Amino acid sequence: MCSAAGPSPAVLRWPHTGCVSRPPRPEGVITRGTTAPNRLRRADRWIVSVHGPLLRRAERPLVVDLGFGASPVTTAELFGRLRVVHPRVEVVGIEIDPARVATAKPREREGLSFRLGGFELPVDRPPTLVRAFNVLRQYGEGEAWAAWERLCAGLAPDGVLVEGTCAETGRRASWVTLGARGADGTPTAGAGRSTGGGKGAGALRDTGRVQGADAVRGAGAVRGRRDPRPGGAEPRTVTLAAHLPTLSRPSDLAERLPKTLIHRNVPGERVHELLAAFDRAWAAAAPQSVFGPRQRWVTAVQLLARDHPVLTAPPYGGRARWRLGEVTLPWSAVAPDQISLIPSLRE
């Protein structure tokens, strides 16, 4: 039945009936909200380089920063960095905590806004890119997979989700790039190619049709095994990034793996095998330390690429990216064998 009273700011009036209804409850739960200036600079730098062409192709690209936390500073930083890529980009920061949204509102300006919401992405059109960092840490693994499905379902046809985790200072981070399964899957020969004997990483998905692939096809193709995961989200690449002068060994990044991988860092899982191999390569590259930690990292990545499908060509790889303390591989290099999903994040 319709309410007899007029709508308050907390309710919506449906124009075709005149009925009053409360807006749907945001999907998800409140996070710790910890944030700091430049905490996400490594991911932002990677987004600009890898997905900048995707944004440039859109007339008015929409970017969502999901879960901006207690302060909108990293959303404002993302806006500034992306405005260099596209002068008409629109960035919307979404938070599930009303108090945090109210705190962020004074920072709004043309092209930058903040609103209440969650995984349902309450925006006026499908976003070209969603950045979600440190949002899924408190969820279970199955819930994290379900969140990926929910977010990818809301993307533009060629859109991408960049979901990951980083340290409080941003010095250690990892993230996964995903898209909707069934998006334009035309392979691009040679773009973003990997080494390491192929291992299924040579077939690339050219979602963006520019500068190679936005993703790697065959997310579960390592050693001939198929990805058992149903649904609409397609993980494509995984990236590890670190402040090299403070890194003891690559496996130190394990504590910052995305939620879908962090509990898989055990013997028998691909991500554990990858980190162990990276540590061995790091040890073998120790003589390069006399030239600095960057050269040691570059050498270790080159050694790792002999047996693992490291992406070695721009925009994902190559010395320029490796010198920044990054390495990107196809999702197939770390994909779990068994995945359990939950049907909803509403409860």
Q: Are 263 and 205 in contact (CB under 8 A)?
A: no
pLDDT value of residue 123:
97
Q: Does residue 267 form part of some domain?
A: no
The two tokens of residue 323 are 């010198």
Q: Could you tell me the pTM of the whole model?
A: 0.82
Contact 254, 320 (CB under 8 A): no
Rg (CA), the chain: 21
Give the DSSP letter string of 223-235: GGPPP---SSEEE
Q: Is residue 126 in some structural domain?
A: yes
Do the domain assignments include residue 153? Answer: yes
Q: Residue 39: which CATH number? A: 3.40.50.150
Q: Is the predicted pLDDT of residue 19 greater than 80, yes or no?
A: no
Three-state DSSP at 82 gives helix
Q: What is the mean pLDDT of residues 305-331?
A: 98
* Percent of the chain whose pLDDT exceeds 90: 71
> Could you tell me if 153 and 180 are in contact, meaning their C-beta atoms sit under 8 angstroms apart?
yes
Helix ranges (H only) for the chain are 41-57, 73-85, 98-104, 141-153, 259-262, 270-284, 293-304, 319-322
Phi and psi angles of residue 284, each rounded to the nearest 5 degrees, phi first: -65, -25
Distance CA 136, CA 145 (A): 10
Stretch 132-141: mean pLDDT, rounded? 94
The dihedral built from the CA positions of residue 44, 48, 54 and 58, taken in this order, carries a sign that is positive
CA 61/CA 88 separation, integer angstroms: 7
* 15 part of a folded domain: no
- Per the domain annotation, does 273 fall within a domain? no
pLDDT of residue 70 exceeding 80, the answer is yes
At 340 the pLDDT is 59
Q: pLDDT tens across 145-197, in order?
A: 999 999 999 999 999 999 999 999 999 999 999 999 876 533 232 334 444 44
Number of domains in the chain: 1
- pLDDT at residue 4, as a whole number: 35
> CA-to-CA distance for 171 and 187, rounded, in angstroms?
34
Cβ atoms of residues 246 and 260 within 8 Å: no
Range of the domain at 225: 20-243
pLDDT reading at 66 higher than 90: yes
End-to-end C-alpha distance for the chain, whole angstroms: 25
CA–CA distance, 319 with 256 (Å, rounded to integer): 23
Q: Are 164 and 172 in contact (CB under 8 A)?
A: no
**Position 89 confidence tier, pLDDT thresholds 50, 70, 90:** very high
129 or 19: which carries more pLDDT confidence?
Answer: 129
Which pairs count as long-range contacts for 201-205, CB under 8 Å and 24+ apart, including other chains?
Answer: 201/309, 201/311, 201/329, 201/330, 201/332, 201/333, 205/179, 205/236
Structure confidence by residue, pLDDT tens digits, 245-280: 999 999 999 999 999 999 999 999 999 999 999 999
Average pLDDT over residues 13-41: 70
Find where tokens 């997310």 sit: 219
Q: What is the DSSP letter of 345?
A: S
Fill in the amino acid letter for 318: G
Q: Which helix (H) or strand (E) holds 131?
A: strand 129-133
229 three-class SS: coil
Average pLDDT value for the chain: 83
